[in-house]
């Protein structure tokens, strides 16, 4: 099947161009597939496989010149290998010391890089300078500790004693992996403070590199700016305003964050392409208008290029001001690509520019491919570019109408943007977060004009006039705009049908959906005629349909056993009742377990309460129950394991570990605190042909550098 046009070799023989006009985009997709294969690989490849990848690319290019008919497939295979190799090399070189898995008290000296809110507490991200009685080679690059608010802010130098351990394994089978995320951020320890932090002098942190000194100074300036915004802005929206302008989300009220999320407006909180586009694009527009008013310059030079340079500088300033998170870096790269296209007289907004921004992002941060933020951000951008390009190609241009016609055109544009972006990101949001904002289209339709035309321009103006002490007035205007946005989100989120909860998907479903979506978008740009295009789009749509079919067939686990031997299982008599051993304990894991099942309104009941239909017979030593015809024993002491094995197919020991004699004599499957601590929580499925158990920390994960 052809994916492109027909060209001719030097000898006149027709040769099929496998990729056609979208050659770069197809190459990027192959590169991304290689990255995905790396993260799905069962063992950690040797990092110097990158050299092998480069050799493979060179050999492939030589082969291309000899066999032009196979040029496309060989190039794609070479780039797939390059993506795999780049990921392996990147994982090796970002490696940093990680603390042991067991908890221990440490005295840490360093400076605070970032502060996040965690309920009534705070999370301090500390750039570690030294840890008492720990060798430099074993000292983590940075740590995260949970602490009560003590008045410390980012940039402060502190000494503190904390109980720390290495990053945890996933709490849920196939769920979010905090250790993997921490590995690429060089966070080597998590824990909580057990002493008041003490201020230390800057001399105690030296020697510091010039880069680290600059980073610390920027962090101090950024949080100082955040505090000033919170002091001058209206109290009700001060936290949101600080978050939008500086990326400091620590002051956002919980109820506002939940309301925006339920209404499908949570994307406003994360600084991304929307915010970068509004600020940098607004600066570009203002600069273009200003330069156009200077007649001699405007007649002699293309002032758009000068304005693009100013827009790029504004994008760079916003990147530094907002903390330069990975999502902001993606937005910055996209903005720079657009401004570079303007300067080089190329089409500024195209699928090629989106692909170039994605390629740069993946080269710098290969791990971002498997993050929800990357997938949703580029999915929305690619979908909008495809739709608007095809719309522009079919549009019949006419003379500008009156005010009513312009308002109508603007409303149609906002409606199309909200609808396309919502559909493009909705699938990925449902896959990753197990929920879909049903009314998100209407919320965005109502709130985005105010956010676009009032909130961000007013925030931009507030930062500009802040050196003159005049920021109070634009911040007040920005607050009025955010009040309207919050009123929309509150009204939408209060509807019973605001959120649709969906059961969770596995990695295969997410991969097929993402591959199909990418293929579908590329089908609108590949060359080769309408027949080839339609086939290409059908392949992409087919992948997405297959992924949805597999998603629909994902089985819900019957039982969960946490890494601390806390047991929970679905009541066979009711889909909305989760039976647990106790109401407290394993709260995070159970909530994610319930969320993944799609039953967010599930009720927690004790399985030991037989009078309420718990179905378990319990005494002081054990509880016995039957699920789908399979007998199960939950034993409290090792002495009761052998007896439980006589009439059970599954035995869970909640305290201590099973001895070698009992393990040898028992024919049943045994889960105790020892193997649960090693392989993590378990999802258990009961079938007619036996018991299927999936660990949250399988051996394949333990062989990766983040699965220490």
Per-residue model confidence (pLDDT) at position 14? 42
Residue-level pLDDT at 394: 66
Q: Which residues have a Cβ under 8 Å from the Cβ of 306 and sit 6 or more positions away?
A: 287, 291
The backbone torsions φ and ψ at residue 651, rounded to the nearest 5 degrees and listed phi first, read -125, 125
Least confident interval from 154-163, 285-294, 554-563: 285-294
- How far apart, in Å, are the Cα atoms of 412 and each of 179, 240, 379, 419? 44, 28, 21, 10
Torsion of CA 168, 251, 326, 323, to 10 degrees: -120
202-211, 438-447, 691-700: range with lowest mean pLDDT = 202-211
Q: Is pLDDT of 395 > 70?
A: no
| Rounded distance between C-alpha atoms, residue 161 and residue 163, angstroms | 7
Q: Is the dihedral of CA 308, 313, 318, 324 positive or negative?
A: positive
Q: What does the alpha-carbon distance between residue 621 and residue 637 come to, in Å, rounded to a whole number?
A: 7
The reported pLDDT for the residue numbered 528 is 45
Confidence of residue 271 (pLDDT cuts 50, 70, 90): low
Q: Give residue for tokens 């500390």.
A: 126
- What's the whole-number mean pLDDT along residues 308-329? 84
86-126 per-position pLDDT tens digit: 999 899 999 999 999 889 999 999 999 988 887 788 899 99
Per-residue confidence (pLDDT) for residue 21, from 0 to 100: 61
pLDDT at 206: 67
Q: 432 — phi, psi (to 5°)?
A: -90, -35
Return the biggest CA–CA distance within the chain. 96
For the segment 496-507, the average pLDDT, to the nearest whole number, is: 84
pLDDT at 612: 45
User: Is pLDDT at 8 greater than 50 in this prediction?
Assistant: no
- 324 vs 104, which has greater pLDDT? 104
What mean pLDDT is reported for the chain? 84
pLDDT at site 187: 95
Q: How confident is the model at residue 353 (pLDDT cuts 50, 70, 90)?
A: confident
pLDDT at 7: 47
pLDDT of residue 60: 66
Statement: residue 667 has pLDDT above 70: yes
Give the model's pLDDT for residue 2: 39
Cα separation, 376 vs 326, in Å, equals: 13
pLDDT for 19 beyond 60: no
The domain segmentation of the chain, as residue ranges, is 6-93, 104-208, 226-373+452-493, 507-552, 559-702
Q: What is the pLDDT of residues 629-663, one digit of tens each?
A: 899 999 988 888 888 898 899 999 998 888 888 88
Cα dihedral across residues 271, 274, 275, 277: positive or negative: positive
pLDDT at 6: 45
Average pLDDT of 583-609? 85
- Say yes or no: domain 104-208 is CATH 2.40.50.140: yes
Strands 104-118 and 121-131: antiparallel
Predicted pLDDT of residue 109 = 93
Residue 369: per-residue pLDDT: 92
**Most confidently modeled range among 193-207, 451-465, 475-489:** 475-489
When pLDDT is cut at 50, 70 and 90, the band that residue 365 belongs to is: very high
Would you say residue 4 has pLDDT above 50? no
* DSSP, residue by residue, 425-460: HHHHHHHHHSEEETTHHHHHHHHHHHIIIIIHHHHH
Say whether pLDDT at 38 is over 50.
Answer: yes
**pLDDT score of 326 more than 80:** no
Confidence at residue 526, expressed as pLDDT on a 0 to 100 scale: 53
- Taking only the tens place, the pLDDT of each residue in 517-536 is 988 888 776 544 455 557 77
**Cα(632)–Cα(650) distance, rounded to whole angstroms?**
5
Does residue 289 surpass a pLDDT of 60? yes
Q: Output the pLDDT for position 533.
A: 58
**pLDDT of amino acid 425:** 83
Question: 129 or 424: whose pLDDT is higher?
Answer: 129
Q: Which of 414-428, 429-443, 491-505, 536-550 has the lowest mean pLDDT?
A: 414-428
Hey, CA dihedral for 11, 12, 15, 20, is it positive or negative?
Answer: positive
């Amino acid at each position: 099947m052809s994916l492109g046009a027909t060209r001719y070799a030097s000898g006149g023989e027709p040769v099929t161009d496998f990729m056609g006009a979208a050659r770069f985009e197809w190459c990027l997709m192959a590169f991304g597939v290689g990255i995905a294969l790396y993260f799905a690989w069962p063992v950690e490849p040797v990092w110097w496989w990158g050299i092998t990848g480069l050799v493979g690319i060179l050999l492939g290019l030589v082969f291309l010149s000899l066999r032009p008919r196979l040029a496309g497939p060989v190039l794609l295979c070479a780039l797939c290998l390059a993506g795999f190799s780049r990921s392996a090399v990147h994982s090796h070189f970002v490696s940093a010391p990680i603390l042991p898995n067991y908890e221990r008290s440490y005295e840490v000296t360093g400076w605070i890089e970032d502060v996040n809110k965690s309920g009534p507490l705070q999370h301090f991200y500390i750039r570690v300078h030294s840890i008492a009685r720990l060798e430099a080679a074993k000292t983590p690059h940075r740590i995260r500790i949970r602490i009560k608010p003590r008045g410390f802010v980012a940039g402060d130098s502190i000494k503190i004693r904390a109980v720390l351990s290495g990053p945890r394994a996933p709490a849920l089978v196939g769920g979010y992996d905090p250790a993997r995320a921490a590995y690429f951020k060089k966070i080597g320890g998590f824990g909580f403070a057990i002493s008041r932090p003490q201020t230390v002098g800057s001399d105690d942190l030296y020697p510091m590199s010039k880069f680290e000194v600059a980073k610390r100074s920027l962090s101090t300036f950024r949080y100082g700016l955040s505090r000033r915004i919170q002091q001058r802005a209206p109290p009700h929206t001060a936290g949101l305003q600080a978050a939008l302008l500086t990326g400091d989300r620590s002051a956002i009220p919980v109820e506002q964050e939940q309301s925006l999320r339920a209404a499908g407006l949570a994307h406003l909180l994360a600084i991304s392409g929307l915010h970068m586009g509004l600020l940098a694009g607004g600066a570009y527009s203002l600069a273009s208008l200003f330069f156009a008013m200077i007649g001699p310059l405007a007649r002699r030079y293309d002032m758009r290029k000068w304005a693009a340079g100013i827009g790029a500088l504004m994008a760079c300033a916003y990147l530094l001001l907002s903390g330069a998170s990975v999502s902001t870096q993606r937005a910055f790269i996209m903005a720079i690509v657009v401004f570079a296209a303007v300067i080089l007289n190329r089409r500024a907004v195209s699928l090629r520019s989106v692909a170039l921004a994605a390629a740069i992002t993946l080269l710098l941060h290969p791990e971002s491919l498997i993050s929800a933020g990357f997938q949703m951000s580029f999915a929305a951008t690619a979908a909008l570019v495809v739709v608007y390009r095809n719309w522009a190609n079919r549009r019949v241009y006419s003379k500008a109408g009156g005010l009513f016609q312009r308002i109508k055109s603007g409303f149609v544009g906002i409606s199309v943007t909200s609808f396309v972006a919502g559909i493009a990101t909705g699938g990925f949001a449902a896959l990753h977060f197990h929920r879909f904002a049903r009314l998100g289209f209407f919320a965005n339709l109502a709130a985005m004009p105010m956010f676009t035309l009032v909130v961000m321009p007013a925030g931009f103006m507030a930062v500009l006039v802040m050196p003159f002490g005049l920021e109070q007035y634009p911040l007040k205007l920005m607050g009025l705009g955010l009040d309207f946005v919050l009123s929309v989100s509150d009204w939408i989120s209060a509807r019973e049908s605001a959120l649709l909860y969906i059961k969770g998907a596995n990695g295969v479903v997410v991969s097929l959906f993402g591959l199909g979506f990418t293929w579908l978008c590329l089908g609108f740009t590949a060359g080769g005629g309408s027949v080839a295009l339609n086939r290409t789009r059908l392949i992409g749509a087919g992948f997405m349909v297959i992924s949805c079919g597999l998603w629909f067939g994902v089985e819900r686990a019957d039982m969960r056993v946490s890494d601390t031997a806390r047991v929970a299982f679905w009541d066979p008599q009711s889909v909305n009742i989760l039976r647990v051993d106790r109401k407290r304990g394993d709260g995070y894991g159970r909530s994610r377990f319930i969320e993944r099942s799609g039953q967010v309104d599930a009720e927690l009941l004790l399985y030991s309460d037989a009078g309420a239909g718990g179905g378990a017979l319990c005494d002081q030593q054990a509880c016995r129950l039957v699920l789908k015809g399979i007998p199960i024993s939950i034993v409290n002491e090792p002495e009761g394991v052998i007896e439980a094995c006589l009439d059970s197919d599954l035995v869970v020991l909640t305290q201590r570990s099973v001895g070698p004699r009992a393990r040898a004599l028992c024919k049943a499957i045994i889960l105790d605190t020892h193997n649960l601590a090693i392989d993590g929580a378990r999802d258990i499925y009961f079938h007619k042909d036996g018991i299927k158990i999936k660990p949250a920390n399988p051996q394949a994960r333990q062989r990766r550098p983040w699965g220490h």
